[in-house]
Amino acid sequence: MDIAEEDMRAWMRHVLDNDGQTQKAQKAIRLITPVLLLLIGFLVAGWIGGVIFGIVGLLMGMFYVPWAMKTQFKRRIDTEVAALADGMIGHHTIELTDTAIEWKTSAVTATWKRSAIRNVTETDTHAFVKFSKSSAFIVPLEPDPEGTRRTMLDDIKLKRMPPAS
């Protein structure tokens, strides 16, 4: 199976989209922006200035902050993909045993006990065999004409051992 840069980007988008800390930070910034501008407006320009600054802050919180955070995440993803490209982009093989999963690339060999698997998450285009919040094997679901990836994922889900206490 081949892993491309877009597969790495899909994993990183998945991590960022499902990270509660990131979502909380975005909500906080979206709420704080209008309040701060409202206060600055009151302090600098009085009642009318406060209202105007508050409206500007509300618009910024609604439109600019989400755009800016999305742009920042895209830059962060591009930087991470570039840093990981040598060991992660290219041909990968996965070998399954009753107790472990071995992932091999030209630069890296990783062996994980099946009990270390937290879960298997699927999107429309990828499956992620997760070992932690930010560590997973990426499995592109397409192209898979023989259905081997789907069979492998089903095997991982069925034979996954419960996490060690």
pLDDT in tens, 86-144: 667 777 777 877 788 888 877 778 888 878 888 888 888 888 888 877 677 778 877 77
Per-residue burial over 95-119, b = 16 or more CB atoms within 10 Å of its CB, e = otherwise:
eeeeeebebebeeeeeeeebebbee
Q: What is the pTM of this model?
A: 0.60
How open is the CA angle 27-80-144, to the nearest 5 degrees? 100
- High-pLDDT (> 70) share of the chain, %: 87
Per the document, the length of the chain is 165
Other C-beta atoms closer than 10 Å to the C-beta of 25 total 12
Residue 91, CB-side half-sphere exposure with 13 Å CA sphere? 1
Per-domain residue ranges of the chain: 7-86, 92-159
Please write the tens of the pLDDT for every residue from 20-38: 677 777 788 877 877 777 7
> How confident is the model over 44-60, as a mean pLDDT?
80
What pLDDT is stored for residue 160 in this prediction?
57
